[in-house]
Amino acid sequence: MSEEVKEEVITKNFIENEIDKDLAEGVYDHVVTRFPPEPNGYLHIGHAKSIILNQGLAKKYGGKFNLRFDDTNPQKEKEEFVASIKADVEWICGEEPPVYFASDYFEKMYECAVFLIKKGKAFVCDLTAEEIRDYRGTLKEPGKNSPYRDRSVEENLKLFEEMKNGQCPDGSRVLRAKIDMSSPNINMRDPIIYRVAHLTHHNAGNKWCIYPMYDFAHPIEDAVEGVTHSICTLEFEDHRPLYDWVVRECEFENPPRQIEFAKMYLTNVVTGKRYIKKLVEDGIVDGWDDPRLVTITALRRRGYTSSAIRKFMELSGVSKANSSADYAMLEYCIREDLKMNNSRMMAILDPVKLVIDNYDENEIEYLDVPNNQENPELGTRKVPFARELYIEREDFKIDPPRKYFRLFPGNEVRLMSAYFVTCVGYETDDQGNVTVVHCTYDPETKSGSGFTGRKVKGTIHWVAAPTAKTAEVRLYENIVDEEKGVYNEDGSVNVNPDSLKVLDSCYIEPALAEAKAEDKFQFMRTGFFCVDSKDTTEDHLVFNRIVSLKSSYRPK
C-alpha cells in the first residue's frame, strides 16, 4: 500500500496575498512595516492588533518592523505617552523594535512642501478655517477654488517662508495641496498640508512654528523609512488617494503602498482615548493603567500576558469587514494561557477559623502539595498544616441547601492535600455570624497515604493560621454596566458601581508572600490572580484578580 501523502494547507489573509503578489511582480524585494501611534494617550487592546499584525508580517517575510511616533501635533502629545507606548510595544513584541519619530523628519517634510510649491502643486491660503469648510463643498456638490489658489510660485515661497519664520499668527495662513476641488473624494479637494502653530514640541522643542498635517506627514515618514507596506485601518481607505498623491508628487523612488484592514471592536469595553481620559480625570479609575480598563498597560497590570493577547488576535483574524469580538473570548485566552503554566496556591479571601479539636495544638506539619495537578513538571511544595486553619466562609453552612457537599454539622470533607475532617460544632457572635468551626480529623486519611476506607464528596482548601500571611485582594469586574450599555445619552461612560471590590483581610499560604510584581497564580477554586505592580510594597501585598476560573465561552 502506498503511503498517503498529506499536504499542509497554508491559509493566508488578504494582506499576505497582496504582499506575495508585490514580491512576485518585483514591486518590492523586501518587506518593511511599521506601527505609527500618535503619542496623545495610552495604547489599548485595539492597537495590539496593529502591533501584532505589522510585526508578524515583517517576521514572516524576513523583513523589518519599526515603531514610529506620528508626533506632528504638539498640542496633545506628552513624553509620558511616548514612554508608555515604548514599554507596551516592547512587551507585546517580546523585543524592542527600532524607534523613530516623525518629528525627526520635519526638515524633510518642509523640503517636500517647498518642492510641491515649486512644481505648482501647493499654495499658501489666507482663508479662515470656516471659509475653507464653506469652499470645500459637500458629498453631493463640488467645492470651489480658493481666491489664493493662483498665487505665483514666488509669492507662495515667500509667504511659506514667513510662516516658517514665525511672522504669521496661528490660524492666519495654511499651506494647501493644489489637487482638484471637484474631486468626488473630499480628501482630495486641496487639503491643508501645513498649519501655523506656535507650540513647544516634546521632541523638536521650539525649532518649528509650522507643523505638517497627518495626511501629508504620514506618507513621507513611510517613504523616508523605506516602508514597503503601510498597513492601516479602514477609516484611512478614503485617504489612500491622497497618500499616493503625496509620495508620487514628492517623487519618492519605490514609494510605499497603503493597505487597509478592519479594526477590532471589543464588546462592552471603553477604548476611546477621550472617554478613558475623562475616567482618569474624574477619579473614577486610578490612572490609564487601572486594571478595569483595556489599555495595554492596564491589561498587563491586571495580569494578562502578551501571549494571551496574541492568541486573542489570532482567533479574531484579519479581514476587510468590521466586526466585534466578545470580551469573553479574551478571558478565554488568558485562562488557557495560565491554567497549565502557573502554580495553584491556597488563599482564603473571606476567612472563618476552623479548629481541629483532636490535632496537637503545638504541632506544625509540612505537607507535600503539587504546584499544579494538571502539570506535574511544576513540581511540589511544602505547605504548613496546623490545628487552627482558615477556610472560606462559603465552605461552611449551618443549614446547607440540597447537594451541598462542603462542611456542615456532622458532615465529613477532605482538606485539600491533607486529611478528612468532620464538623462537630461551631461558634457564633451576637449577630449569629459564624466565627469558629470545630472539627475532628482522622489521621489515617492523610493525602498520599493510600487510604481507601471511605470516600467523601467535598474537598475544601485552607491556610494554616499560625503561618498565614495577610494580603489585599482586588476583585475586578467590567467597568461598564453591561445591562445598560457602554455610554449614556450624554456620551459619558455608564460605569458599573460594583466594578471593584477590595478585600483587605485575606490570608495566604507563606509561599505566596515571596511573590513579586506581575507574578501570576491560580488561587484554588477562586480564580487567577496577579501581584499588582503599582501598589504592592514589601509590607503590603496586593493581588489583582485576572479572571475567574470558569466561563461558558468556547471559541468557534
pLDDT in tens, 102-133: 999 999 999 999 999 999 999 999 999 999 99
Q: What does the alpha-carbon distance between residue 506 and residue 221 come to, in Å, rounded to a whole number?
A: 53
pTM of the predicted model, to two decimals? 0.91
Give yes or no for residue 313 having a pLDDT over 60. yes
Give yes or no for residue 9 having a pLDDT over 80. no
Q: Residue 533 carries which side chain, given as an amino acid letter?
A: S
Residue 18, CA distances (Å) to 160, 219, 492 in order? 40, 19, 41
Query: Which tens digit of pLDDT belongs to each residue from 489-526?
Result: 777 888 999 999 999 999 999 999 999 999 999 999 99
What are the cell numbers at 51? 502591533
pLDDT band, very low/low/confident/very high, at 556 (cuts 50, 70, 90):
low
Query: Which tens digit of pLDDT belongs to each residue from 122-176?
Result: 999 999 999 999 999 999 999 999 999 999 999 999 999 999 999 999 999 999 9
pLDDT of amino acid 325:
87
Mean per-residue pLDDT, 15-42: 96
pLDDT of amino acid 272:
84
pLDDT band, very low/low/confident/very high, at 1 (cuts 50, 70, 90):
very low
Mean per-residue pLDDT, 6-27: 84
Over the chain, what is the mean pLDDT? 94
Mean per-residue pLDDT, 263-282: 88
**Helix axes of 214-225 and 106-118: crossing angle, nearest 10 degrees:** 110
What is the signed CA dihedral for 59, 62, 63, 65, rounded to 10 degrees?
20
Helix (H) or strand (E) holding 522: strand 520-523
Q: What does the alpha-carbon distance between residue 349 and residue 544 come to, in Å, rounded to a whole number?
A: 12
* Residue 450, SS3 per DSSP: coil
Give yes or no for residue 3 having a pLDDT over 70. no
Give yes or no for residue 422 having a pLDDT over 80. yes
Q: Residue 462 carries which side chain, given as an amino acid letter?
A: W
| Percent of the residues in the chain that have a pLDDT greater than 90, as a whole number | 86
Helix (H) or strand (E) holding 83: helix 79-93
Q: Please say whether the dihedral angle defined by the alpha carbons of residues 279, 282, 286 and 292, taken in this order, is positive or negative.
A: negative
